[in-house]
Amino acid sequence: MEKALARAGKVPVKAKSKAPNAKAVRLTKVARLNNSNAQRKSMASKKLTNEKLREIHSTMVESRVLEERLIRMNKAGEGYFWIGGPGEEAFAVPLGMLMRKGEGIQYDYLHSHYRGSPTVLALGGQSIDAIRQMRAVATDPYSGGRNFVNHYAIKKWNIVPVFSVIEAQYLQSIGTAHVQREKGCKGITIVTGGDAGTAEGDFASALVWSSRPAGTLPLLMIVTNNKFGISTPWEGQHGEKNVADRGKAFGIRTNIINGNDVWESWEALEEAMEYVRTERKPFLLEARVSRLYGHSSASGAPRWNEEDCLEVFEQKLIKAKVMTEKEIKAVHEKMTTKITEAYKQVQQEAFPTPESIYDHVWAEENGDKGRDSFAAEIGIDFAKNPPPPAHH
Amino acid sequence: MASMAQAIRMALRYGETNMDVTDIFGEDVGPPLGGAFTVTQGLSNSWNCPLDERGIVGMATGIGLAGKRCVAEVQFCDYIFNTIDLLKLAGNACWSSNGEFNMPIVVMTPVGSGIHGSLYHSHSFDAWASRIPGWKVVMPSTPLDAYGLMLSAIEDPNPVMYCIPKALMRARGEEKIPGEPDSDKELKAMIDQPVDAAALKAWKPKWPKLEKYMVPIGKAKHVQEGSHATVVSYGRQMPLIEEIARRLKAEQGIEFDVFDLRTIYPYDWNAIKTSVEKTGRVIFVNEDTEISNFGEHLLRRTCDELFYSLKVRPRMLAGKQLPGIGISPVLEDVSVPQANHIEKEMIELATEQA
């Protein structure tokens, strides 16, 4: 096992190297492979103003500090499971910022995997809500204390329910994209997932359905490739050189980028979104990214020795004189304080009530949270037959 | 009178013209075939899709997430099993998102035996479907109920599994669909597409002036009034039970209280309860395999809640616990309840010494 990890250049390390002014980052094999687009990056950099770069940085830091708090909460027994997106910030923050945000088919739908916290924050999501979902309190707006952390559902921004079933989001994404085939529609559908999940037939289904001549779909399929499926290295399970190559057989436009680079991610996403939005055709974008804390808490969530996109970004911001070390440090301190305060607030919030298990089994009618219609139709009087008291 | 296939077709037509159904899709659902059982011929919003059941359910779910209404078809329920995790996702979309998203979709699929469909065109799905919370599950046994249940399924803001007993697909009822012309011949000329390829090219359906008619989900139909014993069923066995009950009443004076459940979930417990409290005798009949059968749940609830109302042991008659249905009529007949099995059980139920 250790040898396999070492071969892939991914060995967990105990010590964290989290200071914003960290030493020059040692690029992994993956990052080196994908760091060859210097020309394109310099083109993209012209599009990103200093103000926008600072906004991206601030969101990346908030997302990272949030995820590290969530991991600590899990380790302290204040949440049952952690899974999230540290390591994908350089790609996922631009994704959220570039989306056409709103509700309904004229806006972009997001079928996210569970590593989408940077995207949700970039869209305007509140970090306190992720902490609520981690602690499974009743105020968790995404699931009411029901689902794992980073399993969002935000209707006003077309973020459809996130689930743990690997790759099924690619199948649901063809449905919202199909609806967006309506004439004059400006919205597109975006689906994200990892590299390991592309082995599921659902990924192939999305390629088939999105490119069928009878109805091509405005669908941006994103694969964030961290070269691992939980503990299993990509190299041993996939004969294809790149995931994106599979799109070519269907005539789907593709791109492979270094998702650890903000400028490259921004440009590639802008280009892909523009193509899907105007051509109403699918696009397959593979972003090579790092996975900084392993798959989930199930593997202990230790810090891994991979390229840290945030540290890389901060080095570049300093070099380009966009931000000083002091300013960067201040952003970290501000976000740490914000997340700590949010965490303290959530500790005071109530857990779900036992009777809330029946809420929203079915759709709400007249403000009944779906309970009354459910109870009436199955012939149970919840007032007379309440669920048993909770153990907690 | 319209066949069940024609009735569903007319309901879908009503749905696409009056109830905002934007998509009716599945394998061979659109032209030129219009469905393996002709259910979707001539519709405006029907279309063919890749041969991919997971894609079909995923597509339907995505359409539902976007707030649109669709009816997706899985050509035979025998091919729906690899979509069960997707059905679960559709069923928990509302609950898992704390009420943020509804899932107003319909998935229809032909179920059961009766056409000598062998191992992979004879499966039942009612027990499986009843174990996917968040879904409503219906199964009509007459064309009029098929029409009314489809309209209710379309209108419902929750996912509805619409099971069609394929053996009854061509059966005609005793009640007219609202708007249906007087003669079968006339209806056929209006809405059945020609088989001939050249004629089909020029063919356009002439839809009758259809009307809204809803059969509420969750309400059983009281098929026959009686006080001696209760029979509860749905789908393919209903016409058999009705005929037997009618005959036994006329010939032997045994009066059965017969219910067509029509909805498997949420089922009409009040109807069952009221009847069993009256008769003290009950049998549940369906053709799904007998282990973990939906009828077993009804038996359990009967024992739990109505035990002291029972005069004799409650019964269930279901399909044999077999890996499949054999194509030989001999094998099929002994695998799922036939008229003679049902009659024997009904007589024993009604005549057992209390």
Residues of B in contact with A138 (CB under 8 A): none
Minimum-distance CB partner of A212 among B50, B97, B99? B50
Minimum-distance CB partner of A208 among B52, B98, B158? B52
Q: Is residue B119 pLDDT above 60, yes or no? A: yes
- Predicted confidence at residue A45, as pLDDT, reads 54
Q: Is residue A28 pLDDT above 50, yes or no? A: no
Cβ contacts below 8 Å, chain A against chain B, sum to 149
Domain boundaries, chain B: 4-202, 221-351
Q: Is residue A7 pLDDT above 70, yes or no? A: no
Count of domains in chain A? 2
Are B94 and A109 in contact (CB < 8 Å)?
no
Backbone angles phi, psi at B89, to 5 degrees: -65, -40
| Residue A7 counted as domain residue | no
Q: Which residue of A has its CA nearest to B104?
A: A363
Query: Per residue in A74-125, pLDDT tens?
Result: 999 999 999 999 999 999 999 999 999 999 999 999 999 999 999 999 999 9
Q: What confidence category does residue B266 fall into, taking pLDDT thresholds of 50, 70 and 90?
A: very high
Domains B4-202 and B221-351 share a fold: yes
ipTM of the complex: 0.96
Topology at the third CATH level for domain B4-202: Rossmann fold (3.40.50)
Are B58 and A170 in contact (CB < 8 Å)?
yes
Give residues 83 to 122 of B whose Cβ lies within 8 Å of A. 85-86, 89, 93-104
Q: Is residue A211 pLDDT above 90, yes or no? A: yes
Query: Once rounded to an integer, what is the mean pLDDT over residues B283-299?
Result: 98
Q: Which residue of A has its CA nearest to B272?
A: A379
**If we measure between CA atoms, which residue out of A121, A119, A120, A146 comes closest to residue A132?**
A146
Q: Tokens 């009904």 map to which residue?
A: B346
Q: Which residue of A has its CA nearest to B52?
A: A205
Q: Answer with the residue of higher pLDDT: A357 or B311.
A: B311
| Residue A147 counted as domain residue | yes
Q: Is residue A33 pLDDT above 50, yes or no? A: no
- Predicted confidence at residue A371, as pLDDT, reads 78
The pTM is what? 0.93
Mean pLDDT of chain A: 89
Minimum-distance CB partner of B62 among A165, A174, A374? A174
The answer to whether residues A249 and A372 belong to one domain is: no
The answer to whether residues A165 and A259 belong to one domain is: yes
Are B48 and A214 in contact (CB < 8 Å)?
yes
Minimum-distance CB partner of A175 among B65, B158, B217? B65
In this structure, the strands spanning B136-138 and B263-265 are: antiparallel
Neighbours of A148 (CB within 10 A): 22
- Rounded-to-integer distance, Cα B9 and Cα B308, Å: 46
**If we measure between CA atoms, which residue out of A146, A91, A95 comes closest to residue A120?**
A95
User: Cβ distance B247 to B168 under 8 Å?
Assistant: no
The answer to whether residues A338 and A392 belong to one domain is: no
Are B157 and A363 in contact (CB < 8 Å)?
yes
Are B158 and A177 in contact (CB < 8 Å)?
no
User: Cβ distance A360 to A148 under 8 Å?
Assistant: no
- Predicted confidence at residue A44, as pLDDT, reads 53
Element (DSSP H or E) covering residue B149: helix B143-155
Q: What is the Cβ-side half-sphere exposure of residue A210, based on CA atoms within 13 angstroms?
A: 35
| Residue A67 counted as domain residue | yes
Q: Which CATH architecture has domain B221-351?
A: 3-Layer(aba) Sandwich (3.40)
- Rounded-to-integer distance, Cα A51 and Cα A242, Å: 35
- Predicted confidence at residue A376, as pLDDT, reads 74
Query: Per residue in B255-264, pLDDT tens?
Result: 999 999 999 9
Written as one string, the DSSP assignment of A259-318 is TT-HHHHHHHHHHHHHHHHHH---EEEEEE---TT-S-GGGT-PPB-S--HHHHHHHHHH
The answer to whether residues A245 and A370 belong to one domain is: no
| Residue A361 counted as domain residue | yes
- Rounded-to-integer distance, Cα B319 and Cα B236, Å: 12
Are B133 and A361 in contact (CB < 8 Å)?
yes
- Predicted confidence at residue B294, as pLDDT, reads 98
Residues of B in contact with A179 (CB under 8 A): 22, 62-63, 66, 68
| Residue A322 counted as domain residue | yes
- Predicted confidence at residue A25, as pLDDT, reads 37
| Residue A311 counted as domain residue | yes
Q: What confidence category does residue A387 fall into, taking pLDDT thresholds of 50, 70 and 90?
A: low
The answer to whether residues A371 and A335 belong to one domain is: no
The answer to whether residues A32 and A58 belong to one domain is: yes
- Rounded-to-integer distance, Cα B73 and Cα B108, Å: 5
- Predicted confidence at residue A17, as pLDDT, reads 42
Neighbours of B111 (CB within 10 A): 28
**A23-32, A108-117, A368-377, B131-140: least confidently modelled range:** A23-32
Catalogue the long-range contacts made by A315-318 (C-beta closer than 8 Å, 24 or more residues apart). A315/A24, A315/A25, A317/A53, A317/A57, A318/A21
| Residue A152 counted as domain residue | yes
The answer to whether residues A326 and A382 belong to one domain is: no
Q: What confidence category does residue A43 fall into, taking pLDDT thresholds of 50, 70 and 90?
A: very low
Q: Is residue A24 pLDDT above 60, yes or no? A: no
Q: How far is CA B80 from CA B19, B25, B73, B86, B124, in A?
A: 26, 15, 10, 10, 11
Q: Structural domain of residue A172, as residue ranges?
A: 26-232+241-347
Query: Per residue in A274-286, pLDDT tens?
Result: 999 999 999 999 9
Are B97 and A176 in contact (CB < 8 Å)?
no
Q: What confidence category does residue A386 fall into, taking pLDDT thresholds of 50, 70 and 90?
A: low
The answer to whether residues A283 and A196 belong to one domain is: yes
- Predicted confidence at residue A364, as pLDDT, reads 87
Q: Nearest CA to CA, how far is B22 from chain A (Å)?
A: 9
Q: What confidence category does residue A47 fall into, taking pLDDT thresholds of 50, 70 and 90?
A: confident
- Predicted confidence at residue A9, as pLDDT, reads 44
The answer to whether residues A80 and A187 belong to one domain is: yes
Q: Answer with the residue of higher pLDDT: A392 or A284.
A: A284
CATH number of the domain bearing residue A206 = 3.40.50.970
Are B89 and A363 in contact (CB < 8 Å)?
no
The answer to whether residues A303 and A376 belong to one domain is: no
Selected residue of A191, A362, A374, A381 to mutate for chain B interface (largest B Cβ count, 10 A): A362
- Rounded-to-integer distance, Cα B229 and Cα B218, Å: 22
The answer to whether residues A375 and A343 belong to one domain is: no
Query: Per residue in A289-341, pLDDT tens?
Result: 999 998 999 888 889 889 999 999 999 999 999 999 999 999 999 999 999 99
| Residue A1 counted as domain residue | no
The answer to whether residues A196 and A253 belong to one domain is: yes
Q: Which residue of A has its CA nearest to B98?
A: A143
